[in-house]
Structure 1
Amino acid sequence: MKNALLLLSLLLAFTSCTQEKTQNQERIRVSGEGKIRVKPNMLIITLQVAFTQPRMADAVRQTQQTVDSVVSILGQFGNLGKDLKTSSVSANKEYSYNTGRSVFVGYQASQSIDFVLNDITKFTELTAKLLQTKISSISQLQFGHTQADSLFREADLLAYDDAFKSANKLTKRANVTLGRMLYLSNTSDPSSSGSGATSVMRQEMNAEAKGFGGSGFKISPEVLEFKRMVVSEYEIKP
């Protein structure tokens, strides 16, 4: 029994010394950044359809007819099951303001359509056909890349390499040896556009269809930047 108690005491003392040594271990913490810049190859188009009529039923009918014609066109440029999202038709009273008075002008029915165009080279052709319909506007474009997940993973590796290079430079300057990695964390915030975690750019394009006579838009989107930040911690050997 005494031998067992002695062995347990020695084990606890060794564990305590090991923990204290680990806690007092010299360390270095560095950050790294990885960036990849590419041209977008896809975009999300947001379309608006709206009509105002004296009778609500007429406004809803015109809106639905236009949406049906738009969906028929979009089906030529993608998979409607995966690439299309439409909102429900909303209907409200519409007023105009004249000499400080609000005047009822009718009922407005509206609906929005989001469509993913996976081949950005077909954008001009698509908008030429859309502007021949009675859509109200192309209200927003969101540029992105179909390989966003892979690009972010590559940016993670670049950020790690950047942190490792920084750690090596600092330890060489301090005349010590870099040891094993003790800690690694990705510090990029997916909700922050400043971190580059958002893989799209937004560009307002409030263009009334009738003003373009059926000619398509031409776009020159900016380059997308996929950015990651990491923090690494390494042990330092004398």
Structure 2
Amino acid sequence: MKKTVLVLMAVVMTTLSNAQEIKQVPQISVSGEGKIKVTPDYAIISIGVENTGNDAAEVKKKNDQTVDAVIKYLKGLKIAAADYQTKQVYLHKNYDYNKKKTSFIASQQISVTLRDLTKYDTMMMGLVDTGINNIQGVEFKATKLAQYESDARKAAVVNAKAKATDYAVALNQKIGKAILVSDNSQTNFPQPRMYAMASMKESADGMPQETLAIGEIEITSNVSISFVLE
């Protein structure tokens, strides 16, 4: 029994000793950031049509006519069928208690992916002509986003390693292998710088109208790394 206790104590002491050695490894922890800025190469445009009237069937019919015109127009622009989709269909009965009247509101939203941004002005003017009366917004995207995110992560690691090296040199030491890596990335899509795309139309002064500012997508990666300090 005494021998067993001694063996257990030896195991515990060895474990504690190893734990202390791990904790006592000199190390340096730094953060790094990598940023990649790219120009978007396609856009997702949200459009819609809304009609109000006293008859539900009539307002829906007006919406259906506009949507039919939109789809035919997009086909004429050679927009792939996979690049436009109905996102919402809405029909609401509204009662005005003051006027004691009932009315109906019908709306439909469509999302259009435009892969050729040079067609933006032409497409938007054509869509307005079809009868849409609601544009929710334009979201710019990049087709190689996964590759750009990878590049940003690599840049963040390089940035962190450079910081660690600066500190180590100042201490007359050098960094060793990485022993802990934490990814703190969050992808955002700010547009800090704006580029204007010229329209095919001209303004009153004869200069091309600039109606689309596509900006830049900024992909940011943040990482925390602990290196062995030698």
In terms of mean alpha carbon deviation, does 14-23 or 43-52 score higher?
Answer: 14-23
In structure 1, the gaps of 5 or more residues are 190-196, 202-215
Between the aligned partners of 2:27 and 2:81, the Cα distance in structure 1 is 55
Between the aligned partners of 2:142 and 2:190, the Cα distance in structure 1 is 8
Matched, 1:151 2:148: yes
2:50/2:63 contact within 8 Å kept: yes
Where do 1:73-112 residues align within 5 Å?
A: 73-75=73-75, 76-81=77-82, 83-94=83-94, 101=98, 104=101, 106-112=103-109
Where do 1:56-205 residues align within 5 Å?
A: 56-75=56-75, 76-81=77-82, 83-94=83-94, 101=98, 104=101, 106-189=103-186, 197-199=187-189
1:128/1:217 contact within 8 Å kept: no
In terms of mean alpha carbon deviation, does 44-53 or 11-20 score higher?
Answer: 11-20
In terms of mean alpha carbon deviation, does 10-19 or 23-32 score higher?
Answer: 10-19
Change (3 A) 1:15 1:67: same
Between the aligned partners of 1:64 and 1:149, the Cα distance in structure 2 is 38
1:148/1:199 contact within 8 Å kept: no
TM-score, with length taken from structure 1: 0.77
Where do 1:21-32 residues align within 5 Å?
A: 21-32=21-32
CA drift at 1:165 = 0.3
Percent identity for Structure 1 against Structure 2? 26
Change (3 A) 1:106 1:7: closer
CA drift at 1:79 = 2.5
CA drift at 1:9 = 7.2
* Residue number in structure 2 paired with 1:36: 36
Q: Give a deviation string over 1:177-201, Cα, whole Å, max 9, x none.
A: 2111001111023xxxxxxx13476
Which of 210, 217, 220 is matched with 1:227 structurally? 220
Between the aligned partners of 1:125 and 1:160, the Cα distance in structure 2 is 44
1:77/1:117 contact within 8 Å kept: no
2:190/2:216 contact within 8 Å kept: no
Between the aligned partners of 1:118 and 1:96, the Cα distance in structure 2 is 44
Q: Give a deviation string over 1:178-231, Cα, whole Å, max 9, x none.
A: 111001111023xxxxxxx13476xxxxxxxxxxxxxx9830222221111111
CA drift at 1:11 = 6.4
In structure 2, the gaps of 5 or more residues are 192-208
Between the aligned partners of 1:153 and 1:145, the Cα distance in structure 2 is 14
* Residue number in structure 1 paired with 2:202: none
